[in-house]
Amino acid sequence: MRTEKEMMSLILSIVKTDERIRAAMMNGSRVNPNVKKDRYQDYDIVFYVREYDSFLADHNWVNVFGDRIIMQMPDGMELFPSNWPGFSYLMQFVDGNRIDLTLLPIEEINNQSKFDSLSVVLLDKDQLLPILPRPDESDYITKKPTSQEFLDCQNEFWWVATYVSKGLKRMELPYAKAMMEGPVRNMLVLMLDWYIGSEHSFTVNTGKDGKWLERYVDKNMWEKYISTYANADYEVIWNSLFNMCSLFEEISEVVAKKLEYLLFTDSEKVMKYLISLKNQ
């Protein structure tokens, strides 16, 4: 596996030798001072370029980065149409490294009012980029919700929980799992973010999709969260759904008290409905 030094040397050499590339920036975990480095981290790179269309005319130019296992060009996919001004190459290499490279026309520098807080300028041939502050997680810190956001999160959780229960009663496994692991899980993670944020004065980052939740909750809370995951057995899914509801209600009450917000008033009625539906 190529080392970080080798990868950065390669990336910088490409920037220096291709006159179309006028500036380069790196974002993400590799510039995050609070993330421990490991071999699985991506290289999140942005090239600001002239003659933008010339890069897209022949995508083989990215072969210079090395032998790939697979590449995705999300901005060129019909399945997921994109209308933003850039183009990305997501490349997984044979040696285990990965580069997520984004191309942006040089003119886009003037259109950006703000840069990601986890950004470092690698090279700026024309001094077009602003002087950026030291990278930090400020863009990713859990924000304190408004009272309406807090109520909306609760409403969404309890509303879609009824979808899960109907899917289970109808033996519609894919639908029930999609609702439970999509909207319902998202609201549980969001409420956990707020729970943790309220305990830490909203100064911490729990990571994408709550990947660092375990760092900030005690063992008991973590075990409760783990119990919300289910397999494909209907009885297990019912139990996991009720575990989700119990945990959501518990942490919602803590957040409401901390922030002095009103609790959603219909959760008890929804819970009774779910139980009655299961027992029918």
DSSP codes of every residue in 141-153: SPPPPPHHHHHHH
Q: Dmax of the chain from CA atoms?
A: 71
- Give me the pLDDT at residue 199, please: 95
Is the residue at 153 inside a domain? yes
- What pLDDT does residue 267 have? 93
The domain that contains 79 carries what CATH number?
3.30.460.10
* Rounded Cα gap, residues 70 and 216, in angstroms: 35
Residue 48's alpha-carbon distances to 37, 65, 102, 209, in angstroms, are 26, 17, 9, 29
Is the same domain home to 77 and 172?
no
- pLDDT at position 245 is 98
Same domain membership, residue 194 and residue 117: no
Residue 81 lies in a domain: yes
- Whichever domain contains 227, its CATH number is 1.20.120.330
Residues, the chain, total? Answer: 280
Q: What is the number of structural domains in the chain? A: 2
Residue 132 counted as domain residue: no
Say if 43 falls within a structural domain: yes
Full domain range(s) for residue 180? 147-279
Point out the domain boundary residue: 124, 139, 164: 124
Contact of 41 with 30, CB cutoff 8 Å: yes
**Last residue in a domain, options 93, 109, 124:** 124
Low-confidence ranges of the chain (pLDDT < 70): none
Q: Do 156 and 275 fall into the same domain?
A: yes
84, part of any domain: yes
Same domain, 157 and 246: yes
Position 37 scores a pLDDT of 87
Q: What is residue 164's predicted lDDT score, i.e. its pLDDT?
A: 98
